[in-house]
C-alpha cells in the first residue's frame, strides 16, 4: 500500500497569491498534480495545506484525496513532509512525496517508481531524466522516523547521504520530474508552452537548480541557516553553529560561510570542501559533549608550531590546500521544567522558572492555552508525559492531590534529572504506598523528592516554589555530566557506523562512497584527496 503525500502548504511569497491556485493551461497547479496522482496506482492521497488552506479547499476539488493543515508551514518544506507522513494511512508501506508545484509529472512516472519498489530492496526511489534526478521521491515506511528529523526548508534529500546503498534511480521518459514552477515568469512560460504545444522538455533549463541540496554561492537557493537554527531552538534540540571566520588562499571557503551540525551528525549548509565538512562533524560533536566553543583550524601545517590556547588544529587534506579557521559554537538546549498541575504552587513554579530561563512545559488535564501565558508547551493528557522527557528535565508534581499518583507513575521510572512532589508528609506517604501497590518499584519511588524543595520553612506558594527551584539548581550544578539531550526525532534516527580514514585518521561513515579495494579489503576515506594519496602509496599508510 502506497500513500501519496502532496505538498501544497507554502507561503507563495514570490507569487502574491497561493501558488497552488495559479493556472497553467486553464487549470490550477494543484489540479494538474492531483490528476496525475489519481491516475497512478496509489492507495491513499494526503494533501498538506498551510497558507490560505480554506481558500484552496473551496476552489479545488479534493475528490479521492484527504487534506490536512500543517500549522507550522512557515518553518519550511520539512514541516509539511513530517505532517504528511503523520497523516498517511497507518497501513502504508511507503510514501510518495509529490511536490504541489510540479504540474507536468506523468502518472506513468509514479507507477514506474511503485513498480520498481515492488521488485527491489530499495528504501529510496528517485526518478531520473537524462541522468538528472528529479521528483517525486518514493520512501519506504522504515524511514518515517528519520523523515521526522528533517528540519528547515529541506526535502527528502536531507537523508539521502545516510542511505547511499539503499537508493535506486529509476530512469523515466518524463522531463516533468525536473520542472517545478517557483516564479510568475516560470508560470507564464509554462502556460505558453502548453498553449503552443511545444515540448515540456524546453522548460527544464528554465527551472533547473544547481546540483546538491545547498548552493555554494550567496543566492536565494542557499539554505537559510538562521531559519534552520530557529527551528531547532523551537524544538529544544542541540546543535552546533559553525562559521568560517578566516581563510588563507587557496581555499574554497569564504569568511561568513555557515553550517549547522545536529547531534545525529547531519550537516546542514556549506563551508567549502568535503575535508572541512568531515572534520567539522567530528569536532562539533565534541563541542556538544563538553558545551564549550572553540576555534577549529584546518591547515597543511598543523603541528608545526606550539598549539594556541582555544585553537584545535587539523591537517588540511584537500588538494586545494590553504587554511581555514572555523568558529564552532555549541547551542545547548534550555533545561526543561515540567510542571504537572494547575495549583498556586504550580503557577509560582512557572513564573520563577521563566526568570531562570527554563523551558516551561505544563501538563494539566483540561488545560487551556489562555490559562498558562508564557508556557513553551501545554499538554492535556497525562499519558503523553513520557514523550516529553529528556535527561535535562526537572519535573514537579503539584496537583494538590488531584492526580499525583497517575502523574508520578509516568515519571518515576524515567531518565529525568529531578522529580519532586508537592504534598504533606502524610499525603506523600499515601501516594508512595499507592505507587507500590500499582507496581512502581522501590528504587523508582526513592527518586521522588517529597516534600520537594530545600527546607527553609517556606509557607506561601511563592516561597515553596523558590525552595523547589533552589533544590533543582543544586542538583543541576552539583551533578556530573549528563547524557547529551537529543529530541526523540533525532535519537530514534539510524545510528551511524563509523570507520577510520587510514590517511588522516578521521572518522568516516561506513556507507561513504569514497572508497578503494586494496589487498582484499575496502578502505574508506573522508575526501578524494585522501583516497588519491592512498592509491599512490598504500604501504605508506598501512605500516
Whole-number pLDDT of residue 182? 77
**Residue 217: count of CB within 10 angstroms of its CB:** 9
Q: What is the mean pLDDT of residues 310-326?
A: 74
pLDDT in tens, 283-297: 898 898 888 999 998
Half-sphere exposure of 355 (CA within 13 A, CB side): 11
* Lookup: cell for 130: 537524462
* Lookup: cell for 11: 507561503
Q: What mean pLDDT is reported for the chain? A: 83
Output the 3-class SS for 100-148. Answer: CCCCCCCHHHHHHHHHHHHCCCCCEEEEEECCEECCCEEEEHHHHHHHC
pLDDT higher than 80, residue 380: yes
How confident is residue 491, by pLDDT bands cut at 50, 70 and 90? Answer: very low
Give dist(CA 523, CA 541) in Å, integer.
11
pLDDT higher than 60, residue 483: no
How confident is residue 115, by pLDDT bands cut at 50, 70 and 90? Answer: very high
| H or E element, residue 337 | strand 336-340
H-only helix segments in 356-424: 385-388, 404-411
Tell which wins on pLDDT, 215 or 203: 203
3-state secondary structure of 539: helix
How many residues are given for the chain?
A: 543
**Residue 481: count of CB within 10 angstroms of its CB:** 8
3-state secondary structure of 249: coil
Dihedral angle, C-alpha 248, 252, 257, 263, nearest 10 °: -110
Give dist(CA 196, CA 375) in Å, integer.
57
Give dist(CA 193, CA 475) in Å, integer.
68
pLDDT higher than 90, residue 45: yes
How much helix, strand and coil, in percent to the nearest 5, is found in the chain?
35, 20, 40
How confident is residue 158, by pLDDT bands cut at 50, 70 and 90? Answer: low
pLDDT higher than 90, residue 251: no
Whole-number pLDDT of residue 485? 46
**Alpha-carbon distance values, 300 to 246, 248, 428, 436 (Å):** 15, 11, 64, 63
pLDDT in tens, 393-422: 999 999 988 899 999 998 988 889 999 999
pLDDT higher than 60, residue 487: no
Whole-number pLDDT of residue 298? 85
CB 3 within 8 A of CB 94: yes
Q: What is the mean pLDDT of residues 234-262?
A: 85
Whole-number pLDDT of residue 13? 55
* Lookup: cell for 138: 518514493
Q: What is the mean pLDDT of residues 182-207?
A: 80
CB 174 within 8 A of CB 137: no
How confident is residue 97, by pLDDT bands cut at 50, 70 and 90? Answer: very high
Dihedral angle, C-alpha 283, 284, 287, 288, nearest 10 °: -140
Give dist(CA 138, CA 168) in Å, integer.
10
Q: For Cα atoms 489, 340, 395, give the angle at the middle one, nearest 5 degrees.
A: 65
pLDDT higher than 70, residue 223: no
CB 169 within 8 A of CB 135: no
Whole-number pLDDT of residue 67? 92
CB 411 within 8 A of CB 357: no
Give dist(CA 333, CA 487) in Å, integer.
10
Residue 218 CB partners (closer than 8 Å, separation 6+): none
* Lookup: cell for 314: 587539523
Whole-number pLDDT of residue 525? 79
Whole-number pLDDT of residue 77? 83
Which of 292-306, 322-336, 484-498 is the least confident region?
A: 484-498
Whole-number pLDDT of residue 329? 95
pLDDT higher than 50, residue 243: yes
pLDDT higher than 70, residue 210: no
CB 116 within 8 A of CB 125: yes
CB 414 within 8 A of CB 386: yes
* Lookup: cell for 210: 544547481
Tell which wins on pLDDT, 210 or 229: 229
| In the chain, % of residues over pLDDT 70 | 85
| In the chain, % of residues over pLDDT 90 | 33
Give dist(CA 37, CA 102) in Å, integer.
11
Quickly tell me which residue has 505544563 as its cell: 362
Whole-number pLDDT of residue 16? 59
Half-sphere exposure of 491 (CA within 13 A, CB side): 12
pLDDT in tens, 260-275: 998 888 888 878 666 6
Whole-number pLDDT of residue 250? 65
Tell which wins on pLDDT, 172 or 209: 172
Which of 207-216, 431-440, 513-522 is the least confident region?
A: 207-216
pLDDT in tens, 383-397: 889 888 888 899 999
How confident is residue 490, by pLDDT bands cut at 50, 70 and 90? Answer: very low
Whole-number pLDDT of residue 310? 79
pLDDT higher than 50, residue 112: yes
Give dist(CA 154, CA 107) in Å, integer.
25
Which of 113-117, 130-134, 155-159 is the least confident region?
A: 155-159
CB 126 within 8 A of CB 137: yes
How confident is residue 163, by pLDDT bands cut at 50, 70 and 90? Answer: low
Backbone angles phi, psi at 447, to 5 degrees: -75, -15
pLDDT higher than 90, residue 453: yes
Amino acid at each position: 500500500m502506497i500513500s501519496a503525500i502532496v505538498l501544497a502548504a507554502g507561503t507563495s511569497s514570490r507569487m502574491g497569491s497561493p501558488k497552488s491556485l495559479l493556472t497553467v493551461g486553464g487549470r490550477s497547479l494543484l489540479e494538474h498534480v492531483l490528476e496525475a496522482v489519481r491516475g497512478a496506482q496509489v492507495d491513499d492521497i494526503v494533501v498538506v495545506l498551510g497558507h490560505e488552506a480554506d481558500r484552496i479547499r473551496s476552489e479545488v476539488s479534493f475528490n479521492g484525496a484527504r487534506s490536512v493543515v500543517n500549522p507550522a508551514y512557515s518553518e519550511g518544506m520539512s514541516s509539511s513532509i513530517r505532517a504528511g507522513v503523520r497523516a498517511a494511512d497507518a497501513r502504508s508501506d511507503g510514501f510518495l512525496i509529490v511536490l504541489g508545484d510540479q504540474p507536468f509529472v506523468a502518472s506513468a512516472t509514479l507507477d514506474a517508481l511503485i513498480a520498481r519498489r515492488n521488485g527491489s530492496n530499495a528504501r529510496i526511489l528517485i526518478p531520473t531524466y537524462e541522468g538528472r534526478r528529479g521528483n517525486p521521491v518514493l520512501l519506504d515506511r522504515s524511514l518515517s522516523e528519520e523523515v521526522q528529523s528533517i528540519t528547515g526548508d529541506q526535502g527528502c534529500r536531507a537523508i539521502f547521504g545516510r542511505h547511499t546503498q539503499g537508493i535506486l534511480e529509476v530512469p523515466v521518459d518524463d522531463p516533468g520530474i525536473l520542472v517545478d514552477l517557483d516564479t510568475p515568469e516560470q508560470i507564464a512560460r509554462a502556460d505558453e508552452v502548453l498553449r503552443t504545444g511545444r515540448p515540456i522538455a524546453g522548460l527544464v533549463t528554465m527551472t533547473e537548480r544547481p546540483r546538491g541540496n545547498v548552493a555554494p554561492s550567496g543566492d536565494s537557493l542557499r539554505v537559510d541557516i538562521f531559519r534552520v537554527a530557529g527551528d531547532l531552538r523551537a524544538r529544544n534540540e542541540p546543535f552546533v553553529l559553525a562559521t568560517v571566520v578566516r581563510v588563507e588562499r587557496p581555499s574554497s571557503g569564504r569568511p561568513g560561510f555557515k553550517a549547522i551540525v545536529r547531534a545525529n551528525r547531519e550537516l546542514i549548509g556549506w563551508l567549502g570542501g568535503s575535508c572541512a565538512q568531515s572534520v567539522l562533524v567530528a569536532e562539533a560533536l565534541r563541542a556538544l559533549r563538553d558545551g564549550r566553543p572553540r576555534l577549529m583550524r584546518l591547515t597543511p601545517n598543523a603541528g608545526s608550531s606550539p598549539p594556541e590556547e582555544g585553537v584545535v588544529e587539523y591537517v588540511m587534506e584537500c588538494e586545494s590546500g590553504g587554511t581555514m579557521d572555523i568558529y564552532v559554537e555549541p547551542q545547548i538546549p534550555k533545561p526543561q521544567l515540567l510542571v504537572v498541575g494547575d495549583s498556586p504552587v504550580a503557577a509560582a513554579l512557572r513564573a520563577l522558572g521563566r526568570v531562570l530561563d527554563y523551558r516551561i512545559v505544563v501538563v494539566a488535564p483540561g488545560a487551556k492555552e489562555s490559562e498558562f501565558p508564557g508556557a513553551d508547551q501545554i499538554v492535556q493528557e497525562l499519558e503523553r508525559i513520557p514523550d516529553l522527557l529528556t535527561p535535562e528535565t526537572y519535573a514537579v508534581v503539584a496537583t494538590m492531590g488531584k492526580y499525583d499518583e497517575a502523574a508520578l507513575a509516568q515519571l518515576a521510572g524515567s531518565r529525568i534529572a529531578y522529580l519532586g512532589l508537592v504534598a504533606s508528609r502524610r499525603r506523600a506517604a499515601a501516594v508512595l504506598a499507592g505507587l507500590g501497590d500499582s507496581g512502581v518499584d522501590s528504587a523508582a519511588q526513592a527518586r521522588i523528592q517529597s516534600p520537594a524543595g530545600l527546607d527553609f520553612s517556606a509557607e506561601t506558594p511563592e516561597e515553596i516554589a523558590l525552595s523547589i527551584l533552589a533544590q533543582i539548581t543544586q542538583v543541576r550544578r552539583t551533578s556530573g555530566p549528563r547524557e547529551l539531550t537529543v529530541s526523540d526525532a533525532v535519537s530514534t534516527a539510524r545510528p551511524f557506523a563509523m570507520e577510520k580514514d587510514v590517511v588522516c585518521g578521521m572518522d568516516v561513515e561506513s556507507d561513504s562512497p569514497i572508497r578503494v579495494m586494496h589487498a582484499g579489503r575496502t578502505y574508506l576515506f573522508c575526501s578524494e584527496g585522501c583516497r588519491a594519496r592512498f592509491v599512490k602509496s598504500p604501504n605508506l599508510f598501512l605500516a
